[in-house]
Chain A
């Protein structure tokens, strides 16, 4: 070898030695990943995830940690609500050596990440991604503490036909994975049950003026409109719908299950709107749920804004429970435990009956709420 080559080679070898030689310290705390949209379009949900997960972590650590006094350390990663960032996040958390992961928020982000966590053999629990197909890939360590879209769609279709007596309807979504899925499921069940669907269309969530589409719907004259998008747009739809003097009834999906809906729409426009959803944070039965709700208010000075925030707390609870029960941080063992032995856990989102073989939460808890004259969400009996 020529002597000229020796210098470069020596540099390369030295650097690689330095870079690879760092010894790893024995990790005392248990690292759990939190992948959430901390910035970007869904930042308000990501913020809620962080708040809830930090609250639970604080409480567990204050009580002395788990597995013989080991503390929990949350490793956060911001996926901005975009699929590319999500896969980067997933790899970052895998490299950080997390034992399990909570996240992400939207189905669009959870999907690419779940492939990476699956390959790395890490337990993943999503608090809020409800797209049906996520759990149909046979990933053994993928779980969710929320419920699937199609069941809500069925509930909504029946509710509109039977409770509201609306035999003509319009279905409106915002072209996100989740909202489109829910709208299509609802329309399918609605038609099967004999309803007449006049239109299914998508709004653009970045818009603020929805008068054009509302004018069009008014012209079609349905008895009910089912909107499956998110509450910031839902609020504006209600507000502008009232200004246009529409006469149909509004039914909205669980992404509108948020007090801000009323705030944005204004009380006048919001009252009488129906919402199909899991129970609200304040209505969740069980002592654990009540305690969490009060602790949250005590710490942050406001109640949790959406069900998804609370779901993220339960995602952590389930992980911790699995660690305690298996006395390990091994994803394989935890997944096995969650699939088979995990039963009737008093979660902060109500009783968690268990998980099926695909990792989906068992049972269904959908309820219809109506917004009262005082702006409260009241369960429809």
Chain B
């Protein structure tokens, strides 16, 4: 019983990160029908930039590691990675929108390789760790019930990711720009006729998606304390799976898919075998998709290749 509860908590934590990254996939897909395979690497870039700004603000400039500083770091890094997202869209994707969907995917894969190796060259091939003093910035409080443990850090991470997801949900559903975004997702041409600047909306999507990914990157960095330049590859594939599981293009779907994937992984490890965990997760994904061909929550339009 204790184990089951603990595994559910574990799965929830893992899944909330997946969900946060999956949002980036799903938003870009919703608007462009493009699988942005470089999204995982933007997430990784966020983790590295998070460490770099943290070091320069706290260690070099001597600011104390308080809430305000952390918020500042989130803002800076999310803005920078959002900017990288725009540049990426301009250079690698925009020239390819008319060419069908496959070329853009190859371009995205190229961008993924480029970002990964760029970060490796810039910050070195070593694993990087967040210094000890940041780990103690959050007091080590924990709660124990029925043999399961929950730390304050875990709770904080869950709260931040849910806040970000909720913010995005309200932004897309209850603001003018969000409405425009949904209109573009439905039909580019009609949206253009309605006076929506489609290119600006696409650019906006390429800011918000990567920025959320970057936030996920900083959180993963802070939470686990260790980052590496191939981090985006493994998290990216997981998050993409989560987005598909929930129904790609569907924002609540990405959240549900992420959390579910995290839970499946934790339970598969706990009650079967860690070595087979990913195989089990993919197997369940296949079964779900056979039964529900457009994911758990479904997407609006089924598009052909």
Contacts and interface: CB of A to CB of B under 8 A. Distances in A.
B234 interface: yes
Nearest to B271: A216
Contacts, number: 103
B228 interface: yes
A206 interface: yes
Contact of A202 (B132, B225, B274): B274
B233 A206 contact: yes
Given A206-B234, A212-B11, A215-B10, A264 B273 contact: no
Given A211-B10, A212-B10, A239-B225, A264 B127 contact: yes
Contact of A44 (B3, B126, B275): B126
B282 to A, nearest CB: 13
Interface string A51-74: 000000000000000000000000
Contacts of B3: 215-216, 218-219
Contact of A47 (B125, B233, B266, B270): B125
Contacts of A209: 10, 13-14, 224
Contacts of A39: 117, 120, 125
Given A43-B120, A232-B226, A236-B224, A202 B275 contact: yes
Interface residues on B, range: 35 or more
Contacts of B270: 212-213, 215-216
A216 B267 CA distance: 10
Contacts of B144: 245
Nearest to B2: A219
Contact of A208 (B7, B142, B226, B278): B226
Nearest to A180: B275
Interface of A: 39-41, 43-44, 46-47, 175, 201-204, 206-209, 211-213, 215-216, 218-219, 232, 235-236, 239, 243-245, 260, 263-264, 266-267, 305
A202 B274 CA distance: 6
Contacts of A239: 224-225
A204 B278 contact: yes
B277 interface: yes
Interface of B: 2-3, 6-7, 10-11, 13-14, 117, 120, 124-127, 129, 132, 135, 142, 144, 149, 151, 220, 224-226, 228, 230-231, 233-234, 265-267, 269-271, 273-275, 277-278
25 contacts: A43-B125, A44-B124, A46-B125, A47-B126, A202-B274, A209-B10, A209-B13, A209-B14, A211-B6, A212-B266, A212-B277, A213-B269, A215-B3, A215-B6, A232-B127, A232-B228, A236-B225, A236-B226, A243-B151, A244-B6, A244-B149, A260-B127, A260-B129, A263-B129, A264-B226
A43 B116 CA distance: 13
Contacts of A260: 126-127, 129
Contact of B149 (A44, A219, A243, A267): A243
Given A208-B226, A219-B2, A264 B120 contact: no
Given A43-B125, A206-B230, A215-B7, 18 more contacts: A44-B124, A47-B124, A47-B126, A175-B275, A203-B274, A204-B274, A209-B13, A211-B6, A211-B10, A211-B13, A211-B14, A212-B265, A212-B266, A216-B269, A216-B274, A236-B225, A244-B149, A245-B144
A260 B128 CA distance: 9
Nearest to A244: B149
A298 to B, nearest CB: 20
Contacts of B231: 208
Contacts of B266: 211-212, 215
A244 B10 CA distance: 10
Nearest to B10: A211
Nearest to B144: A245
Contacts of A204: 274-275, 277-278
Residue from A41, A211, A235 having most chain B Cβ neighbours under 10 A: A211
